[in-house]
Amino acid sequence: MGNLTATRPPQPWTAPTASDPVAATLRLPGSKSMTARALVLSALANGPSTLDGPLRARDTELMAGGLRAMGAHVSISDDERWLVRPHRLVGPAHVDVGLAGTVMRFVPPVAGLAEGRVTFDGDPQARVRPLGPLIGALRSLGVRIDAPATRSLPLVVLGAGRVTGGEVVIDASASSQLVSGLLLAAPRFDRGVVVRHQGPPVPSAPHLRMTVQMLRAAGAAVDDTTPDVWAVEPGPLSGRGWKIEPDLSGAVPFFAAALVTGGEVTLQGWPRSSMQPVEQLRSLLHRMGGEVTLTTAGLTVRGTGTVHGLDADLSDVSELTPALTALAMLADSPSRLTGVGHIRGHETDRIAALAREFAALGADITESADGLEIRPRPLRGGTFRTYADHRMAHAAAVAGLAVPGIEVDDVACTSKTMPEFPALWSAMVTGKS
């Protein structure tokens, strides 16, 4: 007989409802964005590197596995410190991207530097995520790629051990990762790279700033003084120690809980100077009724129990859209969230999914091409589908603080970026660690 448990659907997870203001001090896993970039830069460096406080989750383990498949030595046995020793990159190799945008967009440029054939594929939903601009850009820089007519996964990079590099024009309006992927590998290209973006604005600008900052920290020369143009000179990357910040995007649902319940949540280990968009988050939460402070204890958010509606362009911080949508459902006035049309191409079409699932709970919510309009009214319990998207589960958890009976169909999808999420969330709400 076959394995009958292999196809058993996940058990629904009932989002806990808060009976009291939450009061929690949390130490959350490291930033996914920083961990992914540090892994790539370390694999391309001229000496060993360490990552202190990295994120151990599906996305980052897939990134480590992809680099390891091409020959880099990546040790992730110690949860607190990962070790990367660069090595000559070779094929044949296979990279499983899962549903990770970072893996599918950061690793193909690295594969161009490998000698041999490197194949890429992932979860079914990964095959519809936008890759065409990256494929076109790599081909123009001298990388041989076999890809379907849809210019999506599965694809094959036929690495020649070097990439010519040079100037390239790309439409990165679907994802800033399309630019970051080219920039991270560019110091190893013969001529470096000059990337020119042409098209609607590039979303998630803070992530691009993080890429540039981390490249410079590894010794690369980067010029980003001209808007929508990034120039990286060829040259060695230095092995170094990377101290990974706590994940700000992962912290947002917990901060939202402070606003919903009139409580207080502190994220420990927050640096005085951050590569993540903490000022944008501080402004958004303040406008929704929260108080954000940074002390030696960490980053603290306090709420009053009253949430205000919000009219905001979230193009720079689109990862926050699901949690902020849930907050808006519980607000005292309507909200309009715009500038996030590109999240239709994330793990799922997040705009459509949020509108569909919250409407099923009784919400008055309307989707537009690039965002959502929310007019708060009482919600009811019911099943909330995640579509294998961790941020959808986070949104359901936030709403569940005030709405009894919200059942998340697959909370395990949070393992993509935070396997501990269900346990941490329940402990925060119940006050039991």
Catalytic residues: 319
**Cα within 13 Å of Cα(377), Cβ side:** 10
Query: Where do we find the tokens 């319990």?
Result: 381
Q: Would you say 204 is a known binding-site residue?
A: yes
Q: Is 240 annotated as a binding residue?
A: no
**Residue 239 and residue 382: Cα distance in Å, rounded?**
50
- Under a CB-based contact definition with an 8 Å cutoff, are residues 144 and 160 in contact? yes
- The reply to whether 303 sits in an annotated binding site is no
Ligand-binding site membership of 175 (annotated): yes
CA–chain centroid gap for 142, Å, is 29
Establish whether 346 is an annotated binding residue: yes
Encoded amino acid at 20, one letter: D
Place of tokens 């051990």: 161
Task: Using the CB atoms, write b or e for 293-320: b if 16+ within 10 Å.
Answer: eeeeebbbbbbeeebbbbebebbbbbbb
33 is in an annotated binding site: yes
> In 10 A of CB 38, how many CB atoms?
29
Residue 243 marked ligand-binding: no
- Joined tokens for residue 232: 């990286």
Confirm whether residue 391 is marked as ligand binding.
Answer: yes
CA distance 267 to 354: 27
Cβ(114)–Cβ(71) under 8 Å?
yes
CB 147 within 8 A of CB 118: no
Q: Phi/psi at 421 (nearest 5 deg)? A: -55, -55
Listing from the earlier edge strand, what are the strands of the sheet with 406-408? 13-14, 406-408, 382-384
d(CA 181, CA 192): 13
Looking from the CA of 286 toward its CB, the CA atoms found within 13 Å total 8
Nearest residue to 331 via CA among 299, 365, 298 = 365
* Phi and psi, residue 95, nearest 5°: -115, 120
Q: Does the annotation place 129 within a ligand binding site?
A: yes
177 annotated as a binding-site residue: yes
Question: Does residue 101 have a known ligand-binding role?
Answer: yes
**Token representation of residue 309:** 């509606």
Residue 319 assigned to a binding site: yes
- Residues forming the annotated binding site? 32-33, 37, 101, 129, 175-177, 204, 319, 346, 350, 391, 416
Please give the annotated binding residues for 3-phosphoshikimate, written as ranges: 32-33, 37, 175-177, 204, 319, 346
User: Residue positions in the annotated binding site for phosphoenolpyruvate?
Assistant: 32, 101, 129, 177, 350, 391, 416
